[in-house]
Amino acid sequence: MTPIWHALATNLAVAALFFALWALAQPLLEDQRRPARHLALGVSMGIGAVTSMLLSVELQPGMFVDLRSSMIAVAGFFGGPVAALVAGAMAALYRVSVGGPGAVAGLTVIGLAALIGIAGSLLRRGKPVTAGGILALGAAVSIINFVAISSLPIAAEVVSRFGISLSLLAFVATVVAGLFIHVGSRLARDRVLLRAALTQAPDFHYLKDPASRFTAVNQSVTTFNGYARPADMIGKTDFDLTDAERAERLYAKEQEIMRTGRPQLDLEERLVDDEGTEQWFSTSKVPLRDADGEIIGLAGVTRDITARRRLEAELTDSRNLLSYAVSEMSDGLAMFDRAGHLVYCNDRYRSMFPLTSEERRLGSNIRDILKAVVEKGEQLNLGDPDKWINDVITSMQVNGEEQVSLLDGRWLQVRTRPTLDGASLVVVSDVTSMKKAEAELMTLTGQLQVLASTDALTGLMNRRAFDAAIGEEVERSERNRRPLSLVLCDVDRFKTYNDDYGHQAGDECLRAVARCLKGALLRHDDMAVRYGGEEFAALLPNTDEDSANIIAERVRSSLFDLGLQHTRSEHGVVTVSAGISTYPGRARRRSAEQLVARADVALYDAKAAGRNRVTGWRPTPEARRARLSG
């Protein structure tokens, strides 16, 4: 190999050496900011370019060739304008100091290499470096080297002999440099990312050697143990951080992990600080092995789970409280999922259905439960069993409320509330006592209604009941084209009877008249009324005038036959006079007021005719309307 080729090979080796040294030096600059790293790259590549020129090949006196352009271009490509300018300036100063006829060409190559590197950096625009970009950079550098040699005033034989070879060497040097720096940068970024993740993670991350000494910790571990920097904890053990008993326990467990190779996963530990505050931690520790499989230490991660444990404790307390409340509540509670399966029920729910309590177990389907209800006859008034089962299942999908009666006489109120996910909540309440109270209230209300409509002395319906009934009967008779009759009765000379025999005898007399009136009525729909004082009435639906006359005559004759002594009466005994008014079925216009008025006219006609008689209303001019004293 000629001296020139020796020099070129040495130049390539020196360039590769500088590239490798820079790749190794990158971890030392990881903590520096980007401008400082770019400046360091420019200085390093500038020194490399000067070194390459020191070992350059002198083709002719004052004309040198070397690999300076590769270093300057790589500096610009990876470090941007700052690195390119620094490296280019260092190389240019040295080339000017050397001088010679090739100085201009050398400075031109330096400038072009710097521009190529800067252009490549700007074209990337912060994007990751690719293999294609490195190859393109190498090609550009090889071209400017070939052009530079070709422009030198040297023999064509020299250009052809060394120009292509130098260009190829420049291409190789540039590509090798790019790969070295690219791989080194990527590894550096990975290290920075990993270190940032460990340092800034909220959990406690740490590494220990076989003697359980800390070899690396993150900032969370450092702060928790009261130190300022992670480096302050290197070489310390748990005996330096906690009480002896706990430290001995931790040490023994870690030695067991490294002896057996079995990891410790999610071990929870409770700690109480000097102020009595309780803290919980979850710790996982795994053994670390080298390439030969030998255990060289362990890695640990500890997480503060105090908030989680407190939340779990609160949740447990709430669940226990809810469970107690549900189990002790007087209502039955059940939850069915969207498919109709029983997923929850309290004991009260099952006890409310003693005949089907066994069927109401978790997992049972509502259809099977309802079939058991039908088979055992637990619920009354179901109607068609299949329709009832389908209706109940359908009703569980809507808000509903129903009262059901059971075979044992109890009443239950069943309320259903569907949930958003298609499930159904069923609440069952025992309303037996309420239903009994309701029945008693209805009975009492009925009794009060009877008392309110009954005359206390005679037991007949009173005037209030009569006024309510006559209007309805008039409307009904008009609507159905049926006859309606009214009989008004008045005890003759009752005032003098009271004066002569006293009020007690008078009350007994009225009761006797009431019995006669009530006994004269023929049908259930007929209504016997104490109209007021000594006046009585009989409201007779579906009764024509002849039938009403018969009834009135029966009242009159039965009272007369009693023979109640009345010395100041024309007849020597207590008698009644009666007036009748009737709407025949053909009557078109009817009113309660008119019916009463006509009966009243007929009554006074009976009294005017000598008392103790029955008179029907007639629309004749001869009808007398004279009012006689009682």
Which residues does the annotation mark as catalytic? 534
Whether residue 558 contacts residue 516, with contact meaning beta carbons closer than 8 Å, is answered with yes
Contact partners, residue 283, CB within 8 Å, separation at least 6: 264, 266, 267, 268, 269, 300, 301, 302, 303
- H or E stretch at 210: none
In single-letter form, the type of residue at position 259 comes to: R
Whether residue 605 contacts residue 580, with contact meaning beta carbons closer than 8 Å, is answered with no
353 burial type by CB count under 10 A (0-12 exposed, 13-18 middle, 19+ buried): buried
What stretches of 266-363 show up as alpha helix (H) in DSSP? 306-328, 347-351
Whether residue 154 contacts residue 63, with contact meaning beta carbons closer than 8 Å, is answered with yes
φ, ψ of residue 46 in degrees (nearest 5): -65, -45
Indicate the DSSP class of residue 161: I
Question: CA–CA separation, 420 vs 555, rounded Å?
Answer: 73
Nearest Cα to Cα of residue 70 among 125, 149, 15? 15
Q: Where are the beta strands (DSSP E) in 185-324?
A: 204-208, 214-217, 264-272, 278-289, 295-304
Question: CA–CA separation, 277 vs 307, rounded Å?
Answer: 13
CA 191 to chain centre: 44
Length of the chain (residues): 630
What stretches of 55-163 show up as alpha helix (H) in DSSP? 68-98, 103-124, 131-151, 156-158
